[in-house]
Amino acid sequence: MYDGSPDLGRNDECWCGSGKKYKKCHLDFDERLSALYNAGEEVPTHDLLKTAEDIEGVKRSAEVNIGALDYVAERIGVGTTTEEINQWVYDYTVAHDAIPAPLNYEGFPDSVCTSVNEVVCHGIPSENYTLKEGDIINVDCSTIKDGYFSDSSRMFCIGEVSPEDADLVRVTKEAVEEGLKAVKPWGHLGDIGAAVNAYATAHGYTVVREFGGHGVGLEFHEDPFVSFVTKPGTGPILAPGLMFTIEPMINRGEAAIDMSDPNGWTVRTADGLPTAQWEVQLVITEDGYELLSW
């Protein structure tokens, strides 16, 4: 039996904070989750489902996160060091009464991840790396505001980049859009990864298996893990209130990665070929989804 439903009477106040009676609010919803569970589906636990108040909090956090990435976008170019990006994100974030989530997260030393060319993710900013014409870089920003977490990342092409790298960056962004098109309330999480994967591989690229998206909102990284190597109709049910990221890492060459950097963070492609990533944060709604950060 499904035991994820809250222990509420029909006339008790609903758990979602609406102030309505349970029977007029989420009772049907909980019965639907329970029926799916009993039919053998994987359903998200209740603590992962965000209330309207949670979503408002995350939006205020995301406003800063989006603003920080816009701030970077206005300034980044040939000659920027990745440490300057780190300073911009730090300054912008604290000026908006928020905290950069990466800073000191499990020992991460900086306020943002900057991943250039063959760096798949978790690149550490450095005053010794100056962006040059032809580089492609992912800037991954995450913000905590009033305890709420937002997380998104964008690619930037520095000056004129090769047609091959420009294509990788564009296709990776389009892969995220394909993933979003596959989002269906009460559908499966695996539909998203399958759509992303099909699009990337149709363009001759490979998809990183070891890293993916994640639940987010009340913590930096919550369940579920969002793989981009999945089959349709598999994985957890996309119940309204589930909040997570779509952030595939897509490689020009092999999918294999190299995690041997002694700093313990920087992940590279095993073959040294370029890789790209875009990240958006969304919440499942009754009739679709709402984008929260990008």
CB of 214: closest distance to Co ion in angstroms? 6
Residue 125 CB, nearest approach to ligand MF3 (Å) = 11
Q: Quickly list H helices, 39-81.
A: 52-75
Closest separation in Å from C-beta 18 to ligand MF3 = 31
Q: Which of 84, 151, 165, 191 binds ligand MF3 (CB under 6 A)?
A: 151
Residues between 81 and 120 that touch ligand MF3 (CB under 6 A): 102, 105-106, 108, 113
Torsion angle defined by CA atoms of residues 105, 110, 112 and 118, in that order, rounded to the nearest 10 degrees: -100
* Stretch 220-259 residues interacting with ligand MF3 (CB under 6 A): 247
Q: Under 8 Å CB-to-CB from 256, ≥6 apart: which residues?
A: 269, 270, 271
Give 26 or 122: the residue with its C-beta nearer to ligand MF3.
122
Contacts of 86 (CB under 8 A, 6+ apart): 110, 111, 112, 114, 125
Nearest to ligand MF3 of 29, 105 (CB atom): 105
By CB under 6 A, tell whether 142 contacts ligand MF3. Answer: yes
**Among positive and negative, which fits the CA dihedral 28, 34, 37, 42?**
positive
Binding-site partner at residue 102 among Co ion, ligand MF3, none, CB < 5 to 8 Å by type = ligand MF3
Rounded to 5 degrees, what are φ and ψ at 265? -120, -55
CA dist 65 and 96 (Å) reads: 10
Q: Residue 37, Cβ neighbours under 10 Å: how many?
A: 17
Q: Using CB distances below 5 to 8 A depending on partner kind, what does residue 54 bind out of Co ion, ligand MF3, none?
A: none
Q: Whole-number minimum distance, CB 187 to ligand MF3, in Å?
A: 23
Judged by the rule CB under 6 A, the positions of this chain that interact with ligand MF3 are: 102, 105-106, 108, 113, 122, 140, 142, 151, 214, 247, 279
